[in-house]
Amino acid sequence: MVNSNYSHIICILLLSLCLIGCGHEDLDHTKMVVEGWIDAGKHPIVMLHTSYSLDASSDPNNTQLLDVLEEHMVLFGKVVLFDGEDSVILTGRVDTNYLPPYIYTTTKMRGEVGKSYSLHATYKNFSAKSKTIIPEKAIFDSIRTNINNRKVNVIGYANQLEIGEPYIIMARTTNDKQYKICPMGAFRASQKQLKLTINNPINFTGEGMMLQTLFPQTDSIDIAIKFAKVGEAEYLFWDSYIAQNLTQGLFFMETHSNIISNIQDGNGYWCGMGASEYTITLSQDSVYTFDN
């Protein structure tokens, strides 16, 4: 049996394999799927796989799906990044902290605010391109946790937002490296100051994939939160991805809506993030304040 956290990531990945790979096109039409990001001050991470069609009966807890993922991973692709000055070929390596457990990265390039990063990924007869810009960092001035009936409500307070600009909120456990987009975690700032609910994207129990809003109270797991400003095309991806999850009901229903990709001749996303990261506990009511 696949453990709950791993199972949750498998569900997200299979959604990208199937639904991101589908769009308007025929379900049998295979494309390269890119999942990649570059944060301000950090090295790029890119994962490649090919699209795959699943039907409504697919079971995300079936260990045979791990074989499906392995079959569709791109292990010997070529990923080139260009930042307007330098071009770098990313190195592929196994990393079981991510799913797919194979990433392309480099220590020769770090994200810089205001810079654009062009990606070109190739593998066999597949070729996919994209371009992203890293915006100014998004920041929380404080985060509060309120516990009621062993459920934790997490609230972020942001006082320096740009009205009309797009932002995303992601979370993970501190035992993991791979962030997950929070439910309702893509939005445009309606005001400069907002109180933002940080919804739980993590399946702690392994019981189904229903929308969760509250974190469970626990003293054994801490949570990392990423708050990022993103570009318009990247926002449209995450917004449509979240809408897919909310309106689909089940991840593997035969019907599907569009997930908007910013990948040319492929699917998925390449996302520059002006991101700040925060770590919180889920054991007690707390107020975290930050010097930004």
Domains in the chain, number: 2
Q: Are residues 62 and 131 in the same domain?
A: yes
Greatest alpha-carbon span in the chain: 54
Interatomic CA distance for residues 67 and 12, integer angstroms:
16
Chain-centroid distance, C-alpha 231? 15
Chain-centroid distance, C-alpha 26? 25
Q: Are residues 218 and 242 in the same domain?
A: no
For residue 189, the enclosing domain spans 142-229+277-289
Q: Are residues 187 and 219 in the same domain?
A: yes
Q: pLDDT tens for residues 257-280? A: 478 999 999 999 999 999 999 999
The encoded tokens of residue 4 equal 């709950």
Q: Are residues 177 and 208 in the same domain?
A: yes
Ramachandran angles phi, psi of 30, nearest 5°: -85, 135
pLDDT in tens, the chain (292 residues): 334 444 444 444 544 554 444 444 343 468 899 999 999 999 999 999 988 654 433 444 455 656 667 778 899 999 999 999 999 999 999 999 998 889 999 999 999 999 999 999 999 999 999 999 999 999 999 999 999 999 999 999 999 999 999 999 999 999 999 999 999 999 999 999 999 999 999 876 555 444 568 999 999 999 999 999 999 999 999 999 988 876 554 333 333 447 899 999 999 999 999 999 999 999 999 999 998 7
Beta bridge partners of 143: 156, 288
pLDDT given for residue 251 in this prediction: 37
Q: Are residues 251 and 285 in the same domain?
A: no
Q: Are residues 118 and 177 in the same domain?
A: no
Percent of the chain with pLDDT over 90: 66
Q: Are residues 37 and 124 in the same domain?
A: yes
Q: Are residues 247 and 172 in the same domain?
A: no
Q: Are residues 252 and 176 in the same domain?
A: no
- 3-state SS track over the chain: CCCHHHHHHHHHHHHHHHHHCCCCCCCCCCCEEEEEEEEECCCCEEEEEECCCCCCCCCCCCCHHHHHHHHHECCCCEEEEECCCCEEECEEEECCCCCCCEEEECCCCCECCCCEEEEEEEECCEEEEEEEECCCCCCCCEEEEEEECCEEEEEEEECCCCCCCEEEEEEEECCCCCCEEEEEEEEECCCCCEEEECCCCCCCCCCCCCCCCCEECEEEEEEEEEEEECCHHHHHHHHHHHHHHHHHCCCCCCCCCCCCCCCECCEEEEEEEEEEEEEEEECCCEEEECCC
Q: Are residues 154 and 283 in the same domain?
A: yes
pTM to 2 decimal places? 0.85
Q: Using an 8 Å Cβ cutoff, are 266 and 122 in contact?
A: no
Q: Using an 8 Å Cβ cutoff, are 225 and 278 in contact?
A: yes
Q: How confident is the prediction for the chain on average, in pLDDT?
A: 84
Interatomic CA distance for residues 133 and 111, integer angstroms:
9
Q: Are residues 156 and 34 in the same domain?
A: no
pLDDT given for residue 99 in this prediction: 83
Q: Are residues 253 and 115 in the same domain?
A: yes
Q: pLDDT tens for residues 197-210? A: 999 998 765 554 44
